[in-house]
Structure 1
């Protein structure tokens, strides 16, 4: 039995079973019983390191729970932010990443035993499966979960903050429908069997964001003047992305027609549902009036695209906004006007986000020269 001194506490390390046990004398409790702090390990060094950490936690007021795992910290964090007013789609994104990318890999590690090496190995292992954006989000979730646990004295330090987020796999760049594809989708969306048809039509001809469409209310739609007022979004506290995102937009005739049909349909559904109807004044909602989640919108959107003859798995709802920008640009609408229509604070944002959809202005000179002097194709002919 080896005597040890850690900080102001005396103790000993002794052989037990296949490893070693260390015990420190902490004095006597209020009931007069002796208090001891014990840790086990495979080697004396392991035990000494654990005892040093335990003493450090003790002096900092940390009270580690041997039954509190990484999965518990992540679950407590998710519960806390669910009560903070975060947008439902944000909560669902966090929940999906926790359930599928965090808990299966490090959720079973006791929080007090989690090391920076554990976190680094986990992140590097997910880097080939997640985009850099998703990898950054799930790393941030772990950091915030441990930070919350530390505030509740369950752990002494945040090891997740000691690790840099690695680069993930490249994200799929957003695309836009061609004019022909857009026409096919609009024709299909106009059919009565597609409950989300008016959503698709309005998205293509207005460029509204998906989170703006999901929270659009009938009180913000003036069918007589063909105007939609964007006042809310499915974001934290219902705020739009920027102040300039709050805007009024004139809406094309086909969208007004689709919205009129949808309003009549909803009136009939309201009567059928009776007291069971949830009146949120939402333009796009279930037959019961309940709001759509982002996932539900995505599934219904893909049904429209499949029926229009497109490979629906290759597209997502936000690309309808990209389609709007592309069509506007191809038809000579100035960049400044497009920026206003999509609610950007300036044209720099529009250029950066939608650079693949904007018609390259720098090519105009070359196109004019080809018209004046003839192109290579003309000469070869």
Structure 2
């Protein structure tokens, strides 16, 4: 039987001792106190009840019950404590995709991270049970499991799976953090525990772009070869546009008379299939890019060549309005462009470079020319200056030298006057 707790001659609802028939009628010093509280129903309409025992006195249980009620009113109690990480992460990701918050490539990366690694490690836990330690332990297990898979495949002569680096774990942690942050907003957890996880340390690979002379050498080499990629690479070096942005350019986006190009979409590869994303991830990614007069001349020549190919192919021409195409008008495949570029760089006997590093080459040339970091950030289409600084701060050695010079001169003047 439950013995009600009486405080100041009043029975306190929900506070009691679990006694039996052998306990004294008036007071029991053997059994501990407990409380029960029923909270408002959650979003799914289910009853929410909290029961907890083990208190030394009824007053302790009464106080704890009051604290639970206050915490619930303040939004610090989960509205659905049964929700697991597996269940919520699936709902969270589906919602982000449905609302168009993720590009197809990002949606695929999120899906793979959850399905292949995070849910197997964390899926069984209730959201309210998760701690930073659980995340730390899961990340360590993911790294160990993949190392074991690589070693086993190498030993048995099978296809070796791609390695998982500390940088990959950091990206996975970003998925977990976003998932739990959303759970906190939904009232499923009192707080997001992701910041309490410990991540493996890693150092970003230093960007090693081509020098202006190397970039010019490559463009000249492509021109001598009459290579179809020459106009594309010329535009990449002279504007810093991403590969996907370049391949999604339509002639309707380019105003050769005004010398501008409107960037508002990307062509990306997801699971071997190509799709066009109509809007960048951030508003700063949608921008109008000025074109150098020499670049306008290159594009005019390229459009004339494309028009000749259109006439040659006749009705078989694929009229999609794209700037960069095959001879039949079909748009270029992003991954193919990357492979062909790397091959051409080797043939030109230049240092190896990813296509994306042409963007870094543009940024390094701009930095060397003294372009302010704020201006470069807008040109690159970054969401904020911090992103630009993280990527390209090392490209401003002259700025560092000026700072050292000013400090040195200041100290020298102080010493002279002293």
Question: Is the TM value for this pair above 0.5?
Answer: yes
Gaps of 5+ in 2: 6-12, 19-34, 39-46, 55-63, 144-163, 267-276, 403-418
CA deviations 1:60-97 (Å, max 9, x no partner) are: 573344xx542332222221111223352443443344
- The residue correspondences of 1:150-165 to structure 2 (distance < 5 A) are 155-161=188-194, 163-164=196-197
Shift of 1:302: 2.8
Q: Distance in 2 between matches of 1:342 and 1:189?
A: 30
Query: Quick one: structure 1 residues 243 and 80, their matched pair in 2 at CA, closer, same or farther if it must change by over 3 Å?
Result: closer
CA deviations 1:3-23 (Å, max 9, x no partner) are: 9x9x937798xxxxxxxxxxx
Q: Is the 8 A contact 1:227 1:248 kept in 2?
A: yes
State the SS of the aligned residue for 1:73: helix
2:360 aligned residue: 322
Q: Distance in 2 between matches of 1:338 and 1:146?
A: 33
Q: Distance in 2 between matches of 1:351 and 1:111?
A: 36
Q: Distance in 2 between matches of 1:217 and 1:26?
A: 63
Aligned counterpart in structure 1 of residue 122 of structure 2, from 106, 123, 140: 106
Q: Distance in 1 between matches of 2:311 and 2:97?
A: 32
1:257 aligned residue: 301
* 1:142 maps to 2:185: no
2:334 aligned residue: 297
CA deviations 1:159-191 (Å, max 9, x no partner) are: 534615535311112221243365336644886
1:18 aligned residue: none
State the SS of the aligned residue for 1:119: helix
Q: Distance in 1 between matches of 2:370 and 2:200?
A: 36
Q: Is the 8 A contact 2:239 2:362 kept in 1?
A: yes
* 1:220 maps to 2:258: no
- The residue correspondences of 1:70-85 to structure 2 (distance < 5 A) are 70-85=85-100
CA deviations 1:116-173 (Å, max 9, x no partner) are: 3211323456689232xx65543342233234446666x4434534615535311112
Aligned counterpart in structure 2 of residue 230 of structure 1, from 236, 250, 262: 262
2:137 aligned residue: 121
1:343 aligned residue: 379
Q: Which has the higher contact order (CA 8 A, sep 6+)?
A: 1
Q: Is the 8 A contact 2:280 2:286 kept in 1?
A: no
Q: TM-score, normalised by structure 1?
A: 0.58
Shift of 1:228: 2.9
Q: Is the 8 A contact 1:70 1:110 kept in 2?
A: yes
Gaps of 5+ in 1: 13-23, 28-34, 45-51, 365-381
- Provide the aligned C-alpha RMSD in A: 5.7
Q: Distance in 2 between matches of 1:241 and 1:107?
A: 34
State the SS of the aligned residue for 2:166: coil
- The residue correspondences of 1:276-295 to structure 2 (distance < 5 A) are 279=320, 281-284=321-324
- The residue correspondences of 1:56-75 to structure 2 (distance < 5 A) are 60=77, 62-65=79-82, 69-75=84-90
Query: Quick one: structure 1 residues 313 and 363, their matched pair in 2 at CA, closer, same or farther if it must change by over 3 Å?
Result: closer
State the SS of the aligned residue for 1:354: helix
Q: Distance in 1 between matches of 2:327 and 2:97?
A: 26
CA deviations 1:25-65 (Å, max 9, x no partner) are: 999xxxxxxx99999xxxx9xxxxxxx9xxx7997573344
Query: Quick one: structure 1 residues 256 and 240, their matched pair in 2 at CA, closer, same or farther if it must change by over 3 Å?
Result: farther
Query: Quick one: structure 1 residues 156 and 240, their matched pair in 2 at CA, closer, same or farther if it must change by over 3 Å?
Result: closer
State which structure, 1 or 2, has the greater radius of gyration over its C-alpha atoms.
2
Shift of 1:203: 0.2
Total equivalences in the alignment: 321
1:15 aligned residue: none
After alignment, is 312-321 or 346-355 more displaced?
346-355
Q: TM-score, normalised by structure 2?
A: 0.54
Q: Is the 8 A contact 1:201 1:255 kept in 2?
A: no
